[in-house]
Amino acid sequence: MHDDYRRSPVRPKLVLALAALLAAALAGWLISDAVRGGEGDPKAPGAPTGTAAGRVAGKPPEGSPANGVTGGAANGRADGPGSLAGKVVVIDPGHNPSNFQHAREIAELVDIGTNHKECDTTGTSTDDGYPEAAFTRDVSHRLRDLLRERGATVRLTHDADRPFGPCVDERAVIGNQAGADAVVSVHADGSAVGHRGFHVILPALVKGGKADTTRIVGPSRALGERLARSFGRATGSAPANYLGGGTGLDVREDLGGLNLSTVPKVFLECGNMRDPQDAALLTDPAWRQKAATGIADGIGAYLLGQDAGTDER
């Protein structure tokens, strides 16, 4: 620094003035940039990126509960009124897409308490070839997501992650070992054309061999009744016109998945795949979402001790 700069009475004032102008300009640019970034424009200079950008734009960051990755608690239902926190639900998707490739294995007989039955079957399909196993897996996935959003702990008996099965006796064991508060086996029927509607299969009072449904008959009926009401309301479908006397309920003693269960369990036949009108519903993704909602509502009503007509959401 030169001596004549320090002695000049004008230069310090000029420096101060220039500094003030620069500071004002910089502050104005920062304010403008912050405003642009706050509108969530990812291309605006200075806009937040990554997680911060998602928050500014009003979108949850990837992996947040609101994206459904960790269970959807952000919708307020997992820990608010109607919460199923602490409840364990087992979903049993009927059949397995690969069963048809293992005819010998699924034909082997297993003990269902009162007698012996085939390990599993291939299930039915629509006339256009949409298989029951694909339907049950799709609805089960939708149901799983809805129940987790409500706070429940959910387990599937399988997820097409094994070559065949599980066998009907193992399906019951999975629910038992999980200590499930409720188990729903998702199916679609393969009855005659003109047979339409859904029905819920309830366990009969069975005692013999490994089977003893004494303690679950009552709770399973309560689950089934709520499920029938909520499913009909959500889907607009009527109870089956070919069994159950219009109640949508059918009691059976020949199903190993029910006979061997020690926890409340029902089967739900969501419709008849062999009837064209029902098949049109079962193959519609929007209707399958309604079906999952109806099942979730019925399970929720049962677990919370509510009537199925109560809107717990």
User: For residues 15 and 1, what is the distance between their CA atoms, to the nearest angstrom?
Assistant: 14
pLDDT, residue 296, reads 98
pLDDT, residue 307, reads 79
pLDDT, residue 224, reads 98
Task: Give the helix/strand (H/E) hosting 5.
Answer: helix 3-7
Q: Which of 43-57, 114-128, 139-153, 155-169 has the lowest mean pLDDT?
A: 43-57
108 is catalytic: no
CATH 3.40.50.10490 for domain 70-303, yes or no, is no
Nearest one of 272, 279, 290 to 233, comparing CA atoms? 290
pLDDT confidence tier of residue 309, bands split at 50, 70 and 90? low
pLDDT, residue 31, reads 36
Q: Which of 49-58, 118-127, 230-239, 249-258 has the lowest mean pLDDT?
A: 49-58
Quick check: 11 pLDDT over 90? no
Q: What is the pLDDT of residues 198-225, one digit of tens each?
A: 999 999 999 999 999 999 999 999 999 9
User: What percent of the chain is predicted at pLDDT more than 70?
Assistant: 73
Of 132, 149, 225, 269, which residue is the catalytic one?
Answer: 269
Quick check: 246 pLDDT over 80? yes
User: For residues 25 and 280, what is the distance between their CA atoms, to the nearest angstrom?
Assistant: 66
Average pLDDT of span 18-43: 38
Quick check: 26 pLDDT over 50? no
Q: What is the pLDDT of residues 43-67, one digit of tens each?
A: 232 333 232 222 222 333 222 222 2
pLDDT, residue 79, reads 67
Task: Annotate 242-310 with DSSP letters as a single string.
Answer: SSGGGSSEEEES--HHHHT-SS-EEEEEEEETTSHHHHHHHT-HHHHHHHHHHHHHHHHHHHTT--TTS
pLDDT confidence tier of residue 77, bands split at 50, 70 and 90? low
